[in-house]
Amino acid sequence: MRTLFTSVAFLFIVIVIGNTVIIAQDMKPPVAKKEPKVLKIHGYEITDNYAWMRDRNKEKDRAIIEYLTAENKYVDSYMGMHQGLVDTLYKEMLGRIKQTDMSVPTYNGGYWYFNTTEEGKQYPKFLRSKTRDGANPEVLLDVEEMAKGFKFYSVGAFEVSDDGNMLAFSVDTTGYRQYTLQFKDLRTGKILPEKFDRVTSTEWSADGKHFFYVQEDDVSKRSDKLYRHTFGSTGADPLIYEEKDELFGIGIGRSRDKKMMFLVSYAATMREARYLSSDTPTGEWKVISPRREGHEYDVDFDMGEFYITTNKDAENFKVVRAPASDPSEKNWTDFIAHRPAVKVDGLSFFNGYAVVSELENGLEYLRVMDRKTRRADMRIPTEESVYTMGLTGNPEYNTDYVRYNYSSMITPNSTYEFDLKTRESKLVKQQEIPSGHDKSKYETTRVWATARDGVKVPVSIIMKKGTKLDGKAPMLLYAYGSYGASMTPNFSTARLSLVDRGMIYAIAHIRGGSELGEKWRQDGRMFKKMNTFHDFIDCSKWLIANKYTSSDRLVIQGGSAGGLLMGVVVNQAPELFKASIAQVPFVDVMNTMIDDTLPLTTGEWIEWGNPRDDKKAWDYMFTYSPYDNVKKQKYPNMLIEVSLNDSQVPYWEGAKWAAKLREMKTDNNVILLKTNMGAGHGGASGRYDRLKEVAFDYAYALTQVGIEK
């Protein structure tokens, strides 16, 4: 077998301090073999020297694993001298977690559902009780026990039938996000023999005799087929719907009053919803509004009417109502009018009430509507100027209160109950920090950086109170900026280990997310994607100019599409950054986006562009594709992290990128490639293992700016 990387070299330096012997290991990084592969497309010829890294056939698979293992040994060598700090950070982070704990019980269908964690155990138990205090609990799933023998274990679906007798649950045992569906009879405790693979979305019928599930394609992982399982039936489950358009995936859900089921076909810029009464599970699904380019909508059902949250003539969305007899567009009438400055981010119905999740000027709000007494709407008040909040754990329709989560970068995660009648909030549970947390020692703020086109970009910041803004403070700057996902200024116990050591932590809310509404999202995608990268660079320059940090003290971090961000900005402005942490980075953009056999690619074409068929898209995307734009220049130190079983961003993207960076860079800075050999896109599944990963990353960030303790 041909080796695909050169041998590595070791240099051992023995240092004696008193009676202590320290062995410092200087190990040179593996050098990946170059095997040129030429791609001809749109009149161009592109040479890829590291394409072999994705070729996991019998001949090369072993060599690829050996190469990734060698890279891991190099990471261990480099970070070995900092293992004490990694261990210290892990212990600190562990000390801030209540290891034996119980979640806030959630009422649904006569039971209180909750989960518990126990000290020393990686995974929780899922339980229920007839009383709110959790007395005499019934164990539904003991995940710690189920996970024995697996390196990775994740529970996906968890749905109990309306009568409380049956549990549908799904598990992934590799990290590839490929879930197997099973059923448990809660009356007997027995697991039923039925098993269904590649299940992504599930829903019960009202009578509990039928179960709907969506399966994904086994190659592209596109959720494209809906089946109906009938308990007691021996025949094959009937295919209810198949989504043929490769731009779309499907998912199934149900209204909170349990009366209506919805099947939604979704793409990046359009949606189409079908509905069916949950009392007639074998009936015909009907379309609310046929799909068309640019029309996005969600649908719900309450008090005998449909409610559609739509962007039709409403950039930031509005809500319309329609009769159950005919919910087509000709019968839509306004329920919540469009307000250009306020995005409708969600709508939740309860018996006689509605709660609207809103986004205004980068802040989240919950607006309560009383449909019984017609009292004036009210926003649930907040005390801080920078925070995050949202509804959580509200499956019950007939309720006198709704629950919401609230936190800020200095306020621990807090669960409140808002009384719908008295309009008062009560704190039910706040995250305990066993080692202690004094929020008065920290300060959080939001500043506005000016981008090159004059747009103001918000940046959320946490730092120790009294931190001098003289340019000497180290900073970790995080961002994402894609798919309309908002990076909220939430609380993190792990993050305190950075801030306690004098490091400022900041989140740049760049275009491509939805922090400032729908336009913010649209201005950072497709042929405006460059705004995302420019915003991050310009935020970095603004923070440096305003003395929050300096370029030799600035570490940056992003994952997945945020890893793409990391790749672009170190190509475009490497001088701004001391180091970069790129996690499961989407950096081999062109090769991935022309390959429709890879998971997610086809559905991404209307998010990024289709460079396979559209030369204009190719030309634009090629200008920022990180792998294709690596050039002979200086680069910051970089930690690149990938996962072998990642179905969303394959391991080879980061691996190829690391090899090319080492080949092209003109400095002595260090490129590390760290591969999780037993997990997927989200990293480790066990809570302790995940915390160790965070401790490692933060130790890397701290040591890059000279903090060793």
Return the active site residues. Answer: 560, 646, 681
- Here the contacts of 546-550 (C-beta below 8 Å, separation 24 or greater) are 546/447, 546/469, 547/469, 547/470, 547/471, 548/461, 548/469, 548/471, 548/473, 548/475, 548/504, 548/506, 549/471, 549/473, 549/474, 549/475, 549/504, 550/471, 550/472
Q: Crossing angle, helix 83-95 and helix 58-80, to 10 degrees? A: 90
Query: Cβ neighbours of residue 690 under 8 Å, at least 6 residues apart?
Result: 683, 684
Alpha carbon distances (Å) from 14 to 17, 18, 22, 73, 83: 10, 13, 6, 20, 17
- Residue 611: φ, ψ to 5°: -70, -15
Pairing type for strands 125-129 and 111-117 reads antiparallel
In degrees and rounded to multiples of 5, residue 698 shows phi and psi of -70, -30
- CA dist., res. 399 & res. 256, Å (int): 11
Distance in angstroms (rounded) separating the CA atoms of residues 336 and 318 = 6
Distance CA 96, CA 236 (A): 50
Q: Tell me how crowded residue 709 is: count the other CB atoms within 10 A of its CB.
A: 7
Q: In the numeric block, which tokens belong to residue 550?
A: 């300096």
Q: Mark 535-554 as b/e (b = at least 16 C-beta within 10 Å).
A: bbbbbbbbbbeeebbbbbbb
Residue-wise burial string across 220-239, b where 16 or more C-beta atoms lie within 10 A, e elsewhere: bbbbbbbbbbeeeeeeebee
- The number of angstroms, rounded, from the C-alpha of 344 to the middle of its chain's C-alpha atoms is 21
Contact between residue 591 and residue 621 where contact means Cβ atoms under 8 Å apart: no
Residue 164 burial (10 A CB sphere; 0-12, 13-18, 19+): middle
How far from 697 is each of 90, 491, 582, 583, 703, CA to CA, in Å?
11, 18, 10, 10, 10
Read off the amino acid at residue 661.
Answer: L
CA–CA distances in Å: residue 708 to residues 74, 257, 579, 588: 20, 55, 16, 34
Helix orientation angle between 58-80 and 687-704, rounded to the nearest 10 degrees = 60
**Residue 305 gets which letter from DSSP?**
E
| DSSP secondary structure of 629-669 | G--SS---EEEEEEETT-SSS-HHHHHHHHHHHHHH--S--
Residues 6+ apart with CB under 8 A from 26: 10, 11, 12, 13, 77
Number of residues assigned to the chain: 709
Q: How far is CA 350 from CA 390, 401, 553, 622, 631, in A?
A: 16, 9, 50, 48, 57
Close Cβ partners of 60 (under 8 Å, ≥ 6 residues apart) = 4, 52
